[in-house]
Chain A
Amino acid sequence: DAKTTQPPSMDCAEGRAANLPCNHSTISGNEYVYWYRQIHSQGPQYIIHGLKNNETNEMASLIITEDRKSSTLILPHATLRDTAVYYCIVRVPYTGGFKTIFGAGTRLFVKA
């Protein structure tokens, strides 16, 4: 089972920041938080991941709370093309490594 919970859907106005929350209260000390998104009819796209510190790349910023029980993905200036399902993932130990479980995600609608 997924170790994260996310709101099922969110709206955002074009040009504004989109802040997508994720709860992962059972996360272990050495587990990373990953974010992916999936645009309709395409494969999921990796966005960003982090452990403790906030992270930023060309796509987004990731803010992780100090207790690591939750995080927020920030798209600083959302565009219509950012409309997608966003998945927050904490991987679980599995045979020889880790398993990435995709939950239901948050469906983000960016509106003009």
Chain B
Amino acid sequence: DVKVTQSSRYLVKRTGEKVFLECVQDMDHENMFWYRQDPGLGLRLIYFSYDVKMKEKGDIPEGYSVSREKKERFSLILESASTNQTSMYLCASSETKSGGYTFGSGTRLTVV
């Protein structure tokens, strides 16, 4: 089975800190995605990548950046964390652009 691993399950950071959320998948998938999930707003796409070194903005990229130096790893970066970035962050990967997604367990980030 494909495994998507997010480095932290729970994270607490201070306002203004630079935050790295790491995501690793072990099945050589080309495509990787970052979503955030908030009550009443559902899952919203932040960034995605169809290949190494490639990145595309999703619907809510402001305040975030990403890095994909290796195929298996897709990192989400909060340049200067703010309280409105407190959320559940979900990473996903897929083998093809039309295939189903495999999600990680999520990282619940609290910014204080």
Contact = CB atoms under 8 A, between A and B. Distances in A.
A97 B31 CA distance: 10
Main secondary structure of the interface of B (DSSP, over half): strand
Interface residues of A, number: 22
A26 interface: no
Interface stretch (B12-20, B66-74, B76-84, B92-100): B92-100
A102 B42 contact: yes
Most chain B beta-carbon neighbours within 10 Å: one of A41, A42, A44, A103: A44
Contacts of A34: 100
A100 B106 contact: no
Interface of A: 32, 34, 36, 41-46, 49, 91, 95-105
Interface of B: 4, 31, 33, 35, 42-43, 45, 50, 56, 58, 90, 92, 97-98, 100-106
